[in-house]
Structure 1
Amino acid sequence: MSIHPSAAAGQDVLVRTVGLTKIFPPRERRGTAFTAVDGIDLQVRRGEAFGVLGPNGAGKSSTMRMIACVSPRSSGELEVLGLDPATHGRTIRGRIGVIPQDDALDAELTVRENILIYGRYFGLDKASIASRADELLEFAQLTEKADAKVEHLSGGMRRRLTIARSLINEPQVLLLDEPTTGLDPQARHVLWDRLFRLKQQGVTLILTTHYMDEAEQLCDRLVVMDHGRIVAEGSPRELIDRYATREVLELRFAVGAQSDAVDKIKEAASARIEVLPDRVLWYADDGETALASVHALRLEPETALVRRASLEDVFLALTGRTLVD
């Protein structure tokens, strides 16, 4: 299946992949090639926030690096802004913004200097860079810190500066790899607000994140990757409706009592039950009714919590709870 730039532009698709694959050559330890991305198809539309979720090693970063034109694809088709990265990588890089997981700021320079110097990489004239820097400092709420050295900034301020700097070329697409990792709740919410404003201005966002609440807050659509493949796609609400129940009942029992309680619950429940070391999860459309059933079995949990199903429930159902290094 071939992709034509005109078709992508007409459909407002800014990123499109067909059978996109990334294979790394054999390592000395393995002796075999490693497939990081295994034939994925996706489309990112103009002006949307698109999430790429998955456990460690799922292929998220490899996918983002191919879209960012810093890692060549092994096979399949990839189109960014109507262009092929294999032949127009430099042009594409000039029209996108990239926010890496680790801030690559120059700690010895001031906040403003970091933006000014970065702007030169895009061939912008000094007057345009200076004017744009003032706008970006205000957008990132860093105007008062313009002359401060980066080494004196908090983690949240550094992250906002990284975003501001990535916008110097007025990108059409902004790639964000784990944008709020390591930030406290207040800093995360400030960053969410900045990203939401960018989306309102028409910037297309593509982000990876391990925070499911972040994905629910920011993403219009998302894919869940596992072992290099896409295992689910849709809006956060669609995925919750498709792979989880409306509510989840969390039960905690006294030490030594959980095993017997689980046996009774499994006999009585027709819905999905998940047993964890410290609690039991009962997936139900009505959590209160499920709790009444627990009491009817003459079981007395130490704590019982009814909550709405979340994207995290979907993520764990699709990718499992096993820790991946």
Structure 2
Amino acid sequence: MNHKAQYIQPPILEMSEATVRRDGINILDRFSLTIRMNENTAIIGPNGSGKSTFIKLITQDIYPIANKNGAPPVRMFGKNHWILEELKSKLSIVSSDLQNSFLHNTKEGHISGLDVVVTGFFSSLRLFPHQTISDEQYGKAKDALILMNATHLADKFLDEMSTGEVRRVLISRALVTNPEVLILDEPTTALDFVARHKFMEQIRKVVQNDTTLILVTHHIEEVIPEIERIVLLKNGRKAFDGSKKEILNSENLSDIYDHPVKLNGNNKLFKVHVD
């Protein structure tokens, strides 16, 4: 029943011939992609392949060129236009831009891990005196920290945390409103391989809790077993798209990275060896 229900619902994301141009160059070139509920997907590509532009289209930080055929280049949950606050109740994004915004904001004053999570209810970077926070909201914030194994960070100031700790807190913030979809943009950048593995194990728990994951990355090691679909990008275009078994292989990776890559995989972790 649940399997059928996901196809009755409108797709999370529909991009149709989406093109983004900067300085006369197509950063994203006639990009088409549909992702449905419960379709955990990894979008993988080297630097400059269009991953960041893809994220910024979703967050409406940039807009695509209008299609000549009149079709909307980007639709979310079946809508051409949406109120951003309404969208945030269904979908949460954790990106390096968000992390940088929070860390920049802490220069003007400390904010604890728990309060960072609570800001998720208001889609803000800080808490303000006029905001009323209920015991229920604090309870949900603590539950979100528990899910990310980050309760020890509740009273720690954000600007005193390691990169991995900040990521855990920000994902707890993203989960506090129980979004249907979580989008992670390069979630383990700057983490060592041990921290990366532990971090992705926590993400697995989130996905197993019935949250649809869209992972945008160039780290193959982040492809957790719950991800079934792989989209490989190259030069702003979709080079390969299909099941993990079909798409994630040495030949395809060598193609998009323009360098020989040998991929060894098992059910839990992928490792890349560059010759």
Assess if the C-alpha contact under 8 Å between 2:15 and 2:74 holds in 1: yes
Assess if the C-alpha contact under 8 Å between 1:47 and 1:199 holds in 2: no
Q: Which residue pairs with 2:161 in the alignment?
A: 153
Q: CA deviation at 1:120?
A: 2.5
- Structure with greater Cα Rg: 1
Q: Which residue pairs with 2:25 in the alignment?
A: 34
Matching of residues 100-249 of structure 1 within 5 Å: 100-102=95-97, 103-104=99-100, 105-106=102-103, 107=106, 108-121=110-123, 126-215=134-223, 217=225, 219-240=227-248
Instruction: Name the aligned partner's letter for residue 79 of structure 1.
Output: R
Q: Which residue pairs with 1:20 in the alignment?
A: 18
Assess if the C-alpha contact under 8 Å between 2:9 and 2:37 holds in 1: no
- Structure 1 range deviating more: 51-60 or 86-95: 86-95
Q: Which residue pairs with 2:45 in the alignment?
A: 54
Q: Which residue pairs with 2:86 in the alignment?
A: 91
Q: Distance in 1 between matches of 2:237 and 2:132?
A: 39
Q: CA deviation at 1:134?
A: 1.1
Q: Distance in 2 between matches of 1:225 and 1:153?
A: 33
Percent sequence identity over aligned pairs: 24
Task: Provide the aligned C-alpha RMSD in A.
Answer: 2.6
Instruction: Name the aligned partner's letter for residue 187 of structure 1.
Output: A
Gap regions ≥5 residues in structure 1: 1-7, 27-32, 241-310
Q: CA deviation at 1:177?
A: 0.8
Q: Distance in 2 between matches of 1:189 and 1:201?
A: 19
- Structure 1 range deviating more: 188-197 or 118-127: 118-127
Q: Deviations over 1:250-293 (max 9, x none)?
A: xxxxxxxxxxxxxxxxxxxxxxxxxxxxxxxxxxxxxxxxxxxx
Assess if the C-alpha contact under 8 Å between 1:49 and 1:218 holds in 2: yes
Q: Distance in 2 between matches of 1:312 and 1:163?
A: 31
Q: Distance in 2 between matches of 1:53 and 1:45?
A: 18
Q: Distance in 2 between matches of 1:11 and 1:121?
A: 26
Q: CA deviation at 1:224?
A: 0.9
Assess if the C-alpha contact under 8 Å between 2:230 and 2:247 holds in 1: no
Q: Distance in 2 between matches of 1:239 and 1:233?
A: 7
SS of residue matched to 2:206: helix
Assess if the C-alpha contact under 8 Å between 1:58 and 1:226 holds in 2: yes
Gap regions ≥5 residues in structure 2: 1-5, 68-72, 125-130, 261-275
Return closer, same or farther for 1:134/1:221 CA change in 2, 3 Å cut-off: same
SS of residue matched to 1:183: coil
Return closer, same or farther for 1:134/1:41 CA change in 2, 3 Å cut-off: same
Q: CA deviation at 1:11?
A: 5.2
SS of residue matched to 1:17: strand
Q: Which residue pairs with 1:317 in the alignment?
A: 255
Q: Deviations over 1:137-191 (max 9, x none)?
A: 1112121231111233222211111111111222111111101111122221222
How many positions carry a matched residue from both structures? 238
Instruction: Name the aligned partner's letter for residue 175 of structure 2.
Output: L
Q: Distance in 1 between matches of 2:150 and 2:187?
A: 18
- Structure 1 range deviating more: 158-167 or 206-215: 206-215
Q: CA deviation at 1:319?
A: 3.7
TM-score by length of 1: 0.66
Assess if the C-alpha contact under 8 Å between 1:178 and 1:208 holds in 2: yes
SS of residue matched to 2:61: coil
Return closer, same or farther for 1:216/1:133 CA change in 2, 3 Å cut-off: closer
Q: CA deviation at 1:93?
A: 3.0
